[in-house]
Copies of this chain bind each other. A is one copy, B any other.
Amino acid sequence: MYGTYHKETTMAVLRNYPADLDPRVIDVIGRVADKWTMIVLDVLSEHGELRFSKLAQLASGISQKMLTQTVRQLERDGLVIRTIHPVIPPKVEYRLTDLGVSLAEALCGVWVWAAHNVDRIAASRRNYDNRSGD
Protein backbone atom coordinates (compact mmCIF):
# COMPACT_ATOMS: atom_id res chain seq x y z
CA MET A 1 0.00 0.00 0.00
CA TYR A 2 2.94 2.30 -0.35
CA GLY A 3 2.84 1.98 -4.08
CA THR A 4 0.70 5.03 -4.34
CA TYR A 5 3.68 7.29 -4.36
CA HIS A 6 6.15 5.37 -6.44
CA LYS A 7 7.47 7.78 -8.98
CA GLU A 8 7.60 5.48 -11.96
CA THR A 9 11.29 5.05 -11.49
CA THR A 10 11.17 1.30 -11.18
CA MET A 11 12.06 -1.46 -13.55
CA ALA A 12 8.80 -1.53 -15.37
CA VAL A 13 9.25 1.98 -16.62
CA LEU A 14 12.39 0.97 -18.47
CA ARG A 15 10.26 -0.92 -20.92
CA ASN A 16 7.14 1.23 -20.66
CA TYR A 17 4.73 -1.19 -19.01
CA PRO A 18 3.78 -4.57 -20.34
CA ALA A 19 0.20 -3.27 -20.41
CA ASP A 20 -0.58 -6.70 -19.10
CA LEU A 21 -1.81 -5.28 -15.83
CA ASP A 22 -3.99 -2.20 -15.93
CA PRO A 23 -2.65 0.45 -13.53
CA ARG A 24 -6.16 1.36 -12.48
CA VAL A 25 -6.94 -2.20 -11.55
CA ILE A 26 -3.63 -2.43 -9.73
CA ASP A 27 -4.69 0.57 -7.74
CA VAL A 28 -7.93 -1.04 -6.69
CA ILE A 29 -6.10 -4.22 -5.77
CA GLY A 30 -3.75 -2.14 -3.67
CA ARG A 31 -6.72 -0.92 -1.71
CA VAL A 32 -8.35 -4.24 -1.25
CA ALA A 33 -5.13 -6.06 -0.48
CA ASP A 34 -5.01 -4.76 3.04
CA LYS A 35 -5.36 -6.72 6.22
CA TRP A 36 -7.78 -4.41 8.01
CA THR A 37 -9.84 -3.84 4.90
CA MET A 38 -10.31 -7.56 4.51
CA ILE A 39 -11.16 -8.03 8.16
CA VAL A 40 -13.65 -5.18 8.36
CA LEU A 41 -15.32 -6.31 5.18
CA ASP A 42 -15.54 -9.82 6.52
CA VAL A 43 -17.00 -8.77 9.86
CA LEU A 44 -19.53 -6.52 8.20
CA SER A 45 -20.61 -9.23 5.81
CA GLU A 46 -21.08 -11.69 8.63
CA HIS A 47 -22.86 -9.44 11.08
CA GLY A 48 -24.74 -6.97 8.93
CA GLU A 49 -25.13 -3.41 10.14
CA LEU A 50 -22.89 -2.56 13.07
CA ARG A 51 -22.05 0.51 15.04
CA PHE A 52 -18.51 1.69 15.46
CA SER A 53 -17.85 0.17 18.85
CA LYS A 54 -19.28 -3.19 17.92
CA LEU A 55 -17.27 -3.25 14.73
CA ALA A 56 -14.13 -2.54 16.72
CA GLN A 57 -14.98 -5.34 19.05
CA LEU A 58 -15.44 -7.88 16.31
CA ALA A 59 -12.43 -6.89 14.23
CA SER A 60 -9.90 -8.52 16.47
CA GLY A 61 -6.96 -6.37 17.29
CA ILE A 62 -7.81 -3.26 15.33
CA SER A 63 -7.08 0.12 16.86
CA GLN A 64 -9.57 2.93 16.84
CA LYS A 65 -7.41 4.89 14.46
CA MET A 66 -7.15 2.11 11.92
CA LEU A 67 -10.80 1.31 12.15
CA THR A 68 -11.74 4.91 11.46
CA GLN A 69 -9.29 5.10 8.61
CA THR A 70 -10.41 1.83 7.09
CA VAL A 71 -14.12 2.55 7.20
CA ARG A 72 -13.54 6.00 5.72
CA GLN A 73 -11.71 4.51 2.76
CA LEU A 74 -14.39 1.91 2.32
CA GLU A 75 -17.01 4.61 2.41
CA ARG A 76 -15.13 6.67 -0.15
CA ASP A 77 -14.85 3.71 -2.46
CA GLY A 78 -18.56 3.07 -2.17
CA LEU A 79 -18.24 -0.24 -0.36
CA VAL A 80 -19.73 0.83 2.92
CA ILE A 81 -22.51 3.18 3.96
CA ARG A 82 -22.16 5.23 7.08
CA THR A 83 -25.32 6.27 8.83
CA ILE A 84 -25.21 8.90 11.52
CA HIS A 85 -28.10 8.84 13.95
CA PRO A 86 -28.53 12.30 15.45
CA VAL A 87 -28.88 11.19 19.04
CA ILE A 88 -26.94 11.60 22.23
CA PRO A 89 -24.74 9.78 22.77
CA PRO A 90 -23.79 9.56 19.09
CA LYS A 91 -24.69 6.45 17.19
CA VAL A 92 -23.08 5.67 13.86
CA GLU A 93 -23.78 2.54 11.94
CA TYR A 94 -21.95 0.89 9.10
CA ARG A 95 -23.15 -1.58 6.55
CA LEU A 96 -22.01 -2.90 3.22
CA THR A 97 -23.37 -1.52 -0.01
CA ASP A 98 -24.23 -3.89 -2.83
CA LEU A 99 -20.77 -3.26 -4.19
CA GLY A 100 -19.30 -4.05 -0.80
CA VAL A 101 -21.27 -7.25 -0.58
CA SER A 102 -19.98 -8.34 -3.96
CA LEU A 103 -16.40 -7.73 -2.87
CA ALA A 104 -16.96 -9.55 0.39
CA GLU A 105 -18.18 -12.50 -1.61
CA ALA A 106 -15.09 -12.46 -3.77
CA LEU A 107 -12.92 -12.28 -0.67
CA CYS A 108 -14.78 -15.11 0.95
CA GLY A 109 -12.85 -17.57 -1.17
CA VAL A 110 -9.61 -16.18 0.17
CA TRP A 111 -10.76 -16.58 3.77
CA VAL A 112 -11.80 -20.13 3.13
CA TRP A 113 -8.47 -20.83 1.50
CA ALA A 114 -6.61 -19.31 4.43
CA ALA A 115 -8.56 -21.21 7.06
CA HIS A 116 -8.15 -24.39 5.10
CA ASN A 117 -4.40 -24.10 4.68
CA VAL A 118 -3.07 -22.57 7.89
CA ASP A 119 -1.41 -25.76 8.96
CA ARG A 120 0.18 -26.47 5.64
CA ILE A 121 1.64 -23.00 5.56
CA ALA A 122 2.88 -23.23 9.12
CA ALA A 123 4.56 -26.53 8.27
CA SER A 124 6.17 -25.08 5.18
CA ARG A 125 7.56 -22.21 7.21
CA ARG A 126 9.04 -24.47 9.84
CA ASN A 127 10.61 -26.53 7.12
CA TYR A 128 12.05 -23.49 5.37
CA ASP A 129 13.38 -22.00 8.57
CA ASN A 130 15.10 -25.22 9.55
CA ARG A 131 16.87 -25.45 6.24
CA SER A 132 18.19 -21.94 6.54
CA GLY A 133 19.22 -22.20 10.14
CA ASP A 134 20.79 -25.64 9.68
Contact = CB atoms under 8 A, between A and B. Distances in A.
Contacts of A106: 109-110, 112-113
Contacts of A127: 78
Contacts of A78: 120-121, 123-125, 127-128
A102 interface: yes
Contact of A6 (B17, B23, B61, B128): B61
A58 B11 CA distance: 10
Contacts of A69: none
Interface in A15-68: 15, 17-18, 20-26, 28-30, 32-35, 37-39, 42-43, 46, 56-64
Contacts of A58: 18, 20-21
Contacts of A121: 28, 77-78, 99
A6 to B, nearest CB: 6
A78 B62 CA distance: 28
Interface of A: 1, 3, 6, 8, 10-13, 15, 17-18, 20-26, 28-30, 32-35, 37-39, 42-43, 46, 56-64, 75-78, 99, 102-103, 105-107, 109-115, 117-118, 120-125, 127-129
